[in-house]
Chains A and B, each alone.
Chain A
Amino acid sequence: MVYDEPYRWVEAVRNRRDYLEEQLSAGSPIVALPYENGVLMATLGAGTSKLYEVYDQIAFGGIGHPADLEKLRNVVLDAAHVEGFNRSPVDVTVRRLMKFILAPMVKQAFEEVLHAPYIAKIVMAEIGILSGKALFFHLNYDGVFEEQERGVVLAPTAPMSERMAAFLNAAGETHSVSLKEALQIALRTWAVSQLPTDLEAEKEAGAPPTPKELDPLLKRSLESHTLEAALLDRTQPGSSKYRTLSHDEIEQALKGWLK
């Protein structure tokens, strides 16, 4: 097949979109939102870690092919560290990493139909060192990205993403909530992805899913999956603000709620 005719190219891109949607469909969603000390990112997974430290104040999460995610993560890491060394750590911002490095790279790979695309969707978060304000980015496999000041959801399919985002939005402003509350909101948002699809109709009736519907789903998921949670915690000593939540902290947060 010759892809350099415009019609063929459009068709090829469409095929590739279908292929990527299918490849990504089994991924477990990631939820990222601001809380009183910075940013929380959380997901439930079956093994491979999905959340990573990129720089002092920047975190990275992704769903997709592990090798592709590693490749993209390393590109971002290299750029961040060279910049942070040559200029200053405050010059390393999620906005620049996303707009000038990651998004163009992913878009190019997606459109070069004779080469393999990246099977990856990425979410990045930052607690601004100077602004003190959280910022989130969400990148699709075709290079389309979105910037958010409130939390974001990274889900494998568009409908799931929409449902989860609606739930997260309904939770309102989270900038001043405690870690425990933020974790509850994040996990319940994640649990929305587990709702059977026939509840879609109920959602359209207006009310977002209630904790009563979500918590049993979540409890069941926690039996077969491991909870992974990472923070960009402004109160951390030293320059690096990223840390993962310990087993004890997670137990503590779930106590009296799910366990």
Chain B
Amino acid sequence: MHNGDFWSLLKTNGYKLGPGTLPEGREPIESKIALTQGTTIFGLKYKEGVLVAGDRRATAGTTVMYDRTDKVLEIDRHSVMAIAGVPATAFEIARVMEHTFKYYRRSQLQELSLEGKVRALSKLLKENIPMAIQGIGAVAPIYAVYDVARKEGKLFFYDILGAGFEAVEFTTSGSGSPAIRGILQYENRWGKRPLAELSEEAAITLTMRLLETAAEFDAATGGSNREAHLYPVIKLVTMEGVREIPQKTLESLYSRNVVGRSTAGEPGLGIG
């Protein structure tokens, strides 16, 4: 009788994900109202695990709605989900995920398997397909886990219909992502060292530079702002668990390695 399925428990309590679908024949409202969107998230595997980051801007059309969005959400001790797309749905999905894993662990007295966690997000995205294809609730998340048993970080990305893919070295999503995808590939292939060998500090520096670059080419991506003490959200998923990089650290790394032209600017040698 009891299989630890939090989603069914929610549904028996009358819960529905997102707003109801539009009535037959009704046009999607996308053309009339600009929806709030979150952009540019990415993840990469570095020396000690996985780094996941996101800029902090949420936009509706050409309006900046909010500049302090946290798009990298802690799901459990060893996993985070980064969200690109409509926050209304994305935050809700993250909340369901968090409770799903807790509920499974507590009711079944064992941790949900890695495959089970990856599938759980697929299932939620599938629930959201009606919204996504009507253009009013598309979410394309990244899910990063540290697999404690195998002692390695894992990185997954999803399309809006719920297909999950495993990223080998890095992945990125959101409207700012095309601007940095090529850089990541270049760094990984021809940089001083492959991404997987980067130290924590080098990985954070690269991350801040990448998001700065994305902000340069994508209006929906926010950059860092020193006056406002505004920096991207960067979370590390390692053997020890999830850790957020404190603003102080970001501030000093930004001043040292991101502003202006650093010494590590030779071609192909972006990060030391």
List A residues at the B interface (Cβ < 8 Å): 49, 52-56, 74, 77-78, 81-82, 84-86, 237-240
Q: Would B95 and A74 count as touching, CB distance under 8 A?
A: no
Using Cβ atoms and an 8 Å threshold, which residues of chain A touch B76?
238, 240
Q: Would B10 and A85 count as touching, CB distance under 8 A?
A: yes
**Contacts A52-B106, A74-B107, A238-B241 known; A81 to B2 CB distance under 8 Å?**
no
- How far does the alpha carbon of A53 sit from the alpha carbon of B105 in the complex, in Å? 9
- Nearest neighbor of A237 in chain B, beta-carbon distance: B241
Q: Size of chain B's interface in residues, with CB distance under 8 A?
A: 23
Using Cβ atoms and an 8 Å threshold, which residues of chain A touch B74?
238-239
Q: Would B107 and A77 count as touching, CB distance under 8 A?
A: yes
Using Cβ atoms and an 8 Å threshold, which residues of chain B touch A239?
74, 98
B62 beta carbon closer than 8 Å to chain A: no
Q: Would A54 and B95 count as touching, CB distance under 8 A?
A: no
A56 nearest CB across to chain B (Å): 8
- How far does the alpha carbon of A62 sit from the alpha carbon of B74 in the complex, in Å? 32
B89 nearest CB across to chain A (Å): 15
Q: Would B103 and A77 count as touching, CB distance under 8 A?
A: yes
Q: How many A-B contacts at CB < 8 Å in the complex?
A: 47
18 A-B contact pairs sorted by A residue (CB < 8 Å): A49-B109, A52-B106, A52-B109, A53-B105, A54-B106, A55-B106, A56-B102, A77-B103, A78-B9, A81-B102, A81-B106, A82-B10, A85-B96, A86-B15, A238-B76, A238-B77, A238-B242, A239-B74
- How far does the alpha carbon of A220 sit from the alpha carbon of B54 in the complex, in Å? 56
Q: Would A82 and B241 count as touching, CB distance under 8 A?
A: no
Q: Would A237 and B13 count as touching, CB distance under 8 A?
A: no
Interface centre among A56, A77, A85, A238 (most CB of B within 10 A): A85
B90 nearest CB across to chain A (Å): 16
B47 beta carbon closer than 8 Å to chain A: no
Which 4 A-B pairs have CB atoms at the shortest separation, nearest pair first?
Answer: A85-B99, A81-B103, A238-B77, A53-B106
Q: Would A82 and B13 count as touching, CB distance under 8 A?
A: yes
A217 nearest CB across to chain B (Å): 31
Interface centre among B96, B98, B106, B243 (most CB of A within 10 A): B106
- Nearest neighbor of A53 in chain B, beta-carbon distance: B106
Using Cβ atoms and an 8 Å threshold, which residues of chain B touch A81?
6, 9, 99, 102-103, 106
Residues 79-105 (chain B) with a chain A CB within 8 angstroms? 95-96, 98-99, 102-103, 105
- How far does the alpha carbon of A49 sit from the alpha carbon of B10 in the complex, in Å? 28
A250 nearest CB across to chain B (Å): 20
B109 nearest CB across to chain A (Å): 8
Using Cβ atoms and an 8 Å threshold, which residues of chain A touch B98?
239
Encoded as 1 (CB less than 8 Å from any A CB) or 0, chain B from 102 to 121 comes to 11011101000000000000
- How far does the alpha carbon of A85 sit from the alpha carbon of B103 in the complex, in Å? 11
